[in-house]
A = this chain, B = another copy of it.
Amino acid sequence: MSKKRTSIDLGSMQGQEAMPGSARDEAIYRNLYAAIVENHLEPGTKLPEDTLAEAFGVSRTSIRKVLQRLAYERLVDIRLNRGATVAQPTVKEARDVFAARRIVECGVIAQVVAKATPDKVEALRDIVRREHEAGGRGDRRESIYLSGEFHVELARVSENEAITDFLAGLVSRSSLVIATYGAPMAGSCRHSEHDDVLELIAAGDADGAREWMDRHLREIERTVVLVEEAPTAIDLRKILDDVAQRHRRER
């Protein structure tokens, strides 16, 4: 059996090799990003440079750059001489992320309403449509993805790139929070009354939309973060305690 596997196919441009330099890094980044955000890689999973380098068919140098970027976005955790792991948000981080989302998404609504043109609203409707579709056939992953996408695209209507980029980061971190603390059904279930806010926006009701958004985000946070309180480290301790206790009893 051959120990050496072929490297991962990096999307479209599958020519025998080469890619315009930075496009390759970008492709690797997207792959890893998707793997983390779509919860194919569990929080805490180690990401050894060699393994990734071999998997993508590049040297460690490129991998390091990508990992650095993901670390900056708080999707991976890099510790000195210990390498990178998929980030495990603490409960405080999780709360901060959702509080930040409330501030940003509610704060940007006025601009969103102001700049909402019919075709932009239609594009948003399309996302909601696909969201329902995914929910209908029980595709949880796609459902979560589209839910996040909706929030980001909504912000993008404001045409403020600084805000949109920041929110995109918060949304991706939310996915990690869901992966870490969420109940199996959280984040997608009662798949969004996203329709409602579109009506408010189309009607030009900024105050109504803001209020809706505030409630919506509080609801999401409630169903996600409050489900489980303890971070993994303490979990481990608890497990060990339980085992020790049982052991003592069985003796």
Give chain A's interface residues, CB within 8 Å of chain B.
Answer: 20-22, 65, 68-69, 72, 80-81, 92-93, 96-97, 99-100, 102-104, 106-108, 111, 160-163, 166, 170, 173
Q: Measured between alpha carbons, how far is A72 from B96 in the docked complex, in Å?
A: 21
Beta-carbon nearest neighbor of A104 in chain B: B103
| Interface residue SS majority, chain A | helix
Expressed in whole angstroms, the Cα–Cα distance for A107 and B81 within the complex equals 39
In the assembly, what is the distance between CA of A100 and CA of B93, in Å? Answer: 21
B163 touches A99 (CB 8 A): yes
Q: How far in angstroms is the closest Cβ of chain B from A77?
A: 14
A160-B68 contact given A80-B22, A107-B106, CB 8 Å threshold: no
4 further A-B pairs in the complex, CB-CB below 8 A; given A96-B161, A96-B162:
A72-B72, A100-B162, A103-B107, A162-B173
Please state if B99 and A111 are interface contacts (CB–CB under 8 Å): yes
A107 CB contacts on chain B under 8 angstroms? 102-104, 106-107
Among residues of B, the one whose C-beta sits closest to the C-beta of A106 is B107
Query: Can you spell out 11 A-B residue pairs with CB atoms less than 8 angstroms apart?
Result: A21-B80, A22-B80, A65-B68, A69-B72, A92-B161, A96-B161, A100-B162, A103-B107, A103-B108, A106-B107, A166-B166
What is the copy number of this chain in the assembly? 2
Question: What is the distance, in angstroms, from A248's C-beta to the closest C-beta of chain B?
Answer: 39
A76 → chain B, closest Cβ, in Å?
Answer: 14
In the complex, how many angstroms separate the beta carbon of A165 from the nearest chain B beta carbon? 9
Chain B hits for A93, CB < 8 A: 161-162
Enumerate chain B residues within 8 angstroms of A102, measured Cβ to Cβ: 107
Query: Which residues from B are CB-within-8-Å of A22?
Result: 80
Contacts of A69 in B (CB 8 A): 68, 72
List chain B residues, Cβ under 8 A from A99: 111, 160, 162-163
Select A103's contact among B20, B163, B170, beta carbons within 8 Å.
Answer: B163
Minimum Cβ distance to chain B for residue A151 (Å) = 15
Shortest Cβ distance from residue A138 to the other chain B in the assembled complex, whole angstroms: 32
How many angstroms from the CA of A81 to the CA of B106 in the assembled complex?
40
CA distance A22 to B99 in the complex (A): 31
- Complex Cα–Cα for A21 and B82 (A): 13
Of A69, A72, A99, most B-chain CB atoms within 10 Å: A99
Expressed in whole angstroms, the Cα–Cα distance for A22 and B83 within the complex equals 13
- Which B residues lie within 8 Å of A170 (CB)? 162
